[in-house]
Amino acid sequence: MLQRVPTELKQGSDHRRTVLDVSGISKTFGAVAALDDVSLHLAAGEVRALCGENGAGKSTLVKILTGVYRPDSGTISVGGQPVTIDDTRHAQELGLAFVSQELSLCPHLSVLDNIWLGSIKVPLLHRRSQFRRQAREALERLGAAHIDLDTPAGTLTIGERQLVEIARMLTRDARVLILDEPSATLSDLEIERIFAALTALKKDGRSIIYITHRLAEVFQICDSVTVLRNGRSIGTHPIASLDRAALIEMMLGRSFEEMYPESSREAGEVALDVKDLVIPGKVTSFSVTVPKGEIVCIAGQVGSGAVDIINALAGLVYDASGTVVVNGRPMALGSAARALNHEIMLISGDRAEEGIFRRLSVFDNLVATRLSSYACGGVLDLGGLRRAARALAKQVGVDAGRLRSPADTLSGGNQQKLAFGRCLDRGPPGILVMNEPTRGIDVGARADIYAIMRKLCARGYAILMTSNDLEEVVGLADTVVTVYRGRQVNVHGRQSLSMHRIVADIGHPLESSTEVQA
Amino acid sequence: MTTLAQSKNDTVGRLLNPAGRRKRLLVLIRVIALAALTAVALATPGFLSLPSMLSMLTTMSFIGCVAIGMTFITLSGSLMSFALGATLSVTTVVFMASLPLGLAGALLVAFAFSALITALQGFVIGYMRANPIIVSLAAQALIYGFVTFATGGRGIYPEGGETDILKSNLGVIPGPLAAFLLTVLIGQFILSFTRLGRHIIMIGSNRRAAEAAGIEPWHAITAAYAFAGICTAVSAVLMAARYASGDMEHGLGCDYHAISAVLVGGTAIGGGEGSALRTLFGALIIAVVQGVLLLNGFSTQMQYLIVGIIVLAVIALQTLGERR
């Protein structure tokens, strides 16, 4: 099915050429369908927002457009020509340029060198002055004439680096620029600069795919929006025909009540007490109290320090300091083994990097943290471990028949259930610290995981987690602590909780600074 | 250009997807390679005679012990070591030099010495997170430099036959082969049935996840290196006894063959997947290839070349198996 963009787009130029036509793209990883029959139809000079929750398939789509992945089926046309995108270089040759959140400039090279680095247009023997002029023109077109071509890229601000990267794409005749959450790490002023640059590009007739979680930006600079959910395209609409509520509903596609189990019990005694947590360069001061049986969420944007706080409490940040008391016992930070002794366990959304052992079996993953309790003189009681693994698999709802399968043959949701299983029943109920526990997990498995979390709370576990997914935060948390750039903004109890207030706290904390608590 | 790319894409895609077909393909390639090797071996005159088999297996055993040690290093996620050959050499020297302490004393000194110098490397790699390749190259240079300085580069040739008992055989089984098989068994036992073995594999599979699961990576990495030192010492004392000398030449080229055996056996170069048994098979395959080449009159250089090609092919197959 091919989605058509209505022609009455606002500010539409009179001649709407199609630059990019993606139709019926599907891509599966193992058992997971990352994209299912997704289509996208982009006109010249159009700024298209690409919205969807984490795991909706945005990044997979981008990786297909930039030649990182190949689609299982579907066609892509650029400028009316059907193409197969071989690799990232080929994507650039086709005029599809990707500006990532993790910038890809070489910090020690000058701005000029960075702009031309890897360009096929630079012959071995060339006149530098000509390339200098073109680089300058590209920066001027973006309203970034103040950037000196000879300074090392590493000395620029993040926003300036992003502009340099866009300029790099311009010198390569990019027809479609793909920006992945460019605003996540930028100050307001820098965001305005990027927006000005995007407007200039649009006037130039170039098209932009703009990926963002911030709905305000969608309404501010985009012409139309495509919403993905669970790998499927929910629809494409001109911005003028939508309001915020309608867009949110398209993204979520369900109500809170179906998704999130009720908080069932009164908060118990304090399980985790953190005072004045400091992580040099990332968190200036953070305090939180987590009672037994409660879920406390730390909400903040990328770079706010929320993830660092979770990692520090799990013992994975070596220069963190602060007073931490766990179930009445003080704990020094900086060692994961020590944190585990105090029954603090980490569940990470970054499963591939720090969550599971992908090539090891389901069995190995489930028992990873309890080998010592089943070892006699270093030799393992494999029978006992196997019984323990079967019991754990049953508790978290993973098929016990798959104990021998490698973990990466499981879906993302089941992989995360392994991480939960690993943390259970090691001793008395402990504290689970989680970093984006449902990242990249489909809706059904999410509901399972939320149910597991509540079940654990009922058994006396305490949960401290962070999530970029504000809907999840609002639906799940008993208490929300908001952070902005490494400092605490606010603490909201269940009664005073709303999406609106959290967005205000983590985006523009100065406006709500009157509510700052000590 | 587009059509060319498309057709290439299609063929590659049909061959490699889905994952199950790819795995079957890899197994098929391995079976064919093994069958071809067996056929060539059987067709080689003299290959099937008992003396030639035993000599081949004995040579394999010296390399094999080192390869089992190397397997532990690779499994722990530290890629490989280029210092095990130097460790072997220096251990033959230390063993022979400490014979005045009696055979038992000399054995003790040799094993402790070898385990200590590799464990030190493991500590630097595990605790300080130094690059394992660089550390092993530095260790190799240090060992050669120090020993050459201390002994003037001459080997040690002690009088008397105190070490002769190490040359004895178990019936028809050569002593080194028995020692190698024992090393394989111990290595496999550690990997499959002990906490240390599981920790080594978990760290190799995903160091950060292991850390998050409360495992101190440097403990297990240091232990893996120490075990590699012990395996190397097994090879060293047997070799010293066989040649009745301690000499820095004994371990030359042995890193290379040990690494080949590990990789050909199918242990993942990035760590986290593999076993001592696989390395046993890897060592066997390489020994057969070398035996066949030798019997057919090819030079040592040619052997290096062929083994190099085999290792390259195995690595290419591994990467193919992992690509999305």
B272 contacts A359? CB cut-off 8 A: yes
Residue recorded with tokens 């070349």:
B305
The C-alpha atoms of residue B156 and residue B249 are separated, in whole angstroms, by 11
What is the ipTM score, two decimals?
Answer: 0.85
The C-alpha atoms of residue B1 and residue B150 are separated, in whole angstroms, by 64
Shortest CA gap A30–chain B (Å) = 8
B195 contacts A336? CB cut-off 8 A: no
Residues of A with Cβ-Cβ distance to B198 under 8 angstroms: 364, 371, 380
* Percentage of residues of chain A with pLDDT beyond 90: 36
Report cis status (omega within 30 of 0) of the bond before B18: yes
pLDDT of residue B44: 84
pLDDT of residue B16: 41
State whether residue B209 sits within 8 Å of chain A by CB. Answer: yes
Separation in Å, CA A370 to CA A63, A362, A395, A461, B249:
38, 14, 16, 18, 46
State whether residue A29 sits within 8 Å of chain B by CB. Answer: yes
Shortest CA gap A215–chain B (Å) = 34
A337 contacts B9? CB cut-off 8 A: no
Nearest-CB residue to B202 (from A81, A82, A357): A357
State whether residue A324 sits within 8 Å of chain B by CB. Answer: no
Nearest-CB residue to A83 (from B2, B199, B273): B2
Stated as kind and residue range, the H or E segment containing A28 is strand A18-29
Please, what is the average pLDDT of chain A?
84
Nearest-CB residue to A316 (from B2, B193, B212): B212
State whether residue B210 sits within 8 Å of chain A by CB. Answer: yes
State whether residue B5 sits within 8 Å of chain A by CB. Answer: yes
Nearest-CB residue to A378 (from B19, B194, B210): B194
Nearest-CB residue to B211 (from A81, A316, A380): A316
A360 contacts B272? CB cut-off 8 A: yes
DSSP classification of residue A3? P
The C-alpha atoms of residue A315 and residue A351 are separated, in whole angstroms, by 18
Shortest CA gap B172–chain A (Å) = 33
Mutate to test the interface with A, among B6, B208, B273 (most CBs of A within 10 A): B208
Contacts of A246 by beta carbon, 8 Å cutoff, 6+ apart: none
CA atoms within 13 A on the CB side of B260: 25
Residues of A with Cβ-Cβ distance to B19 under 8 angstroms: 30
The C-alpha atoms of residue A457 and residue A262 are separated, in whole angstroms, by 11
Query: Which phi and psi (to 5°) does residue A51 adopt?
Result: -120, 160
Degrees to nearest 5, angle at CA A455 with A450 and A459: 145
Shortest CA gap A160–chain B (Å) = 33
The C-alpha atoms of residue A272 and residue A325 are separated, in whole angstroms, by 6
Shortest CA gap A332–chain B (Å) = 15
State whether residue A328 sits within 8 Å of chain B by CB. Answer: no
pLDDT of residue B230: 98
Degrees to nearest 5, angle at CA B75 with B72 and B79: 95
The C-alpha atoms of residue A357 and residue A209 are separated, in whole angstroms, by 35
Residues of B with Cβ-Cβ distance to A310 under 8 angstroms: none
Per-residue DSSP letters for A355-392? I--TTSBHHHHHHGGGTGGGEETTEE-HHHHHHHHHHH
Per-residue buried b or exposed e for A435-457, using 16+ beta carbons within 10 Å of the residue's own CB? bbbbbbbbbebbbbbbebbbebb
Strands A270-279 and A96-99, sheet pairing: unpaired
State whether residue B148 sits within 8 Å of chain A by CB. Answer: no
State whether residue A375 sits within 8 Å of chain B by CB. Answer: yes
Please choose, from the candidates A330, A337, A327, the residue with its C-alpha nearest in 3D space to the C-alpha of residue A292.
A327
State whether residue A343 sits within 8 Å of chain B by CB. Answer: no
B213 contacts A340? CB cut-off 8 A: yes
Give me the tens of pLDDT residue by residue for chain B, a chain 324 residues long: 344 444 444 444 444 444 456 667 777 877 888 888 888 888 888 888 888 888 889 999 999 999 999 999 999 999 999 999 999 999 999 999 999 999 999 999 999 999 999 999 999 999 999 999 999 999 999 999 999 898 887 888 888 788 888 888 888 889 999 999 999 999 999 999 999 999 999 999 999 999 988 899 999 999 999 999 999 999 999 999 999 999 999 998 899 999 999 999 889 888 999 999 999 999 999 998 888 888 888 888 888 888 889 888 888 887 776 654
Shortest CA gap B90–chain A (Å) = 31
Give me the tens of pLDDT residue by residue for chain A, a chain 518 residues long: 344 444 444 344 434 688 999 999 998 877 677 899 999 999 999 999 998 876 688 888 998 998 888 899 999 999 888 999 888 888 888 889 888 766 678 888 999 998 888 777 777 777 788 889 999 998 988 888 888 999 998 888 878 888 898 888 888 888 999 988 777 667 667 788 888 889 988 988 899 999 887 777 888 889 999 999 888 898 899 999 988 778 877 877 765 556 677 776 566 789 999 999 999 988 998 999 999 999 999 998 777 889 999 999 999 998 999 999 999 999 999 888 899 989 999 998 888 888 899 889 999 999 998 898 899 988 999 999 999 999 999 999 898 888 998 898 888 888 999 999 998 888 888 999 999 898 777 667 888 899 999 999 998 999 999 987 777 888 889 999 999 888 898 899 888 888 778 877 877 555 444 444 43
State whether residue B324 sits within 8 Å of chain A by CB. Answer: yes
Q: Are B143 and B83 in contact (CB under 8 A)?
A: yes
In the stretch 376-405 of chain A, residues with CB closer than 8 A to chain B read 378-380, 382
Strands A431-435 and A462-466, sheet pairing: parallel
Degrees to nearest 5, angle at CA A475 with A472 and A480: 80
* Strands of A245-371, DSSP E: 270-279, 283-291, 295-299, 321-326, 329-331, 344-348
CA-nearest residue to B17 within chain A is: A72
The C-alpha atoms of residue B224 and residue B207 are separated, in whole angstroms, by 14
State whether residue A364 sits within 8 Å of chain B by CB. Answer: yes
Residue recorded with tokens 């490397």:
B121
Strands A176-180 and A96-99, sheet pairing: parallel
* Strands of A52-182, DSSP E: 73-78, 81-83, 96-99, 176-180
Shortest CA gap A379–chain B (Å) = 4
Q: Give the tokens for residue A283.
A: 């968190």
pLDDT of residue B199: 95
Nearest-CB residue to A368 (from B9, B193, B202): B202
Please list the residues that pair with A208 across neighbouring strands: A47, A177
State whether residue A216 sits within 8 Å of chain B by CB. Answer: no
Q: Are B271 and B263 in contact (CB under 8 A)?
A: no
Degrees to nearest 5, angle at CA A210 with A232 and A139: 155
Please list the residues that pair with A278 across neighbouring strands: A321
CA-nearest residue to B207 within chain A is: A354
Shortest CA gap B60–chain A (Å) = 30
Per-residue buried b or exposed e for A263-296, using 16+ beta carbons within 10 Å of the residue's own CB? beeebeebbbbbeebbbeebbbebbbbbbbbbbb
B206 contacts A356? CB cut-off 8 A: yes
Nearest-CB residue to A346 (from B194, B198, B212): B212
Nearest-CB residue to A336 (from B202, B214, B268): B214
Residue recorded with tokens 């599981």:
B198
pLDDT of residue B31: 83
B214 contacts A369? CB cut-off 8 A: yes
Other C-beta atoms lying within 10 Å of the C-beta of residue A346: 27
Shortest CA gap A349–chain B (Å) = 12
Please list the residues that pair with A228 across neighbouring strands: A233
Nearest-CB residue to A369 (from B213, B273, B324): B213
Contacts of B204 by beta carbon, 8 Å cutoff, 6+ apart: B74, B75, B76, B77, B270, B271, B272, B273
* Strands of A62-131, DSSP E: 73-78, 81-83, 96-99
State whether residue A348 sits within 8 Å of chain B by CB. Answer: yes
Please choose, from the candidates A487, A370, A360, the residue with its C-alpha nearest in 3D space to the C-alpha of residue A430.
A370
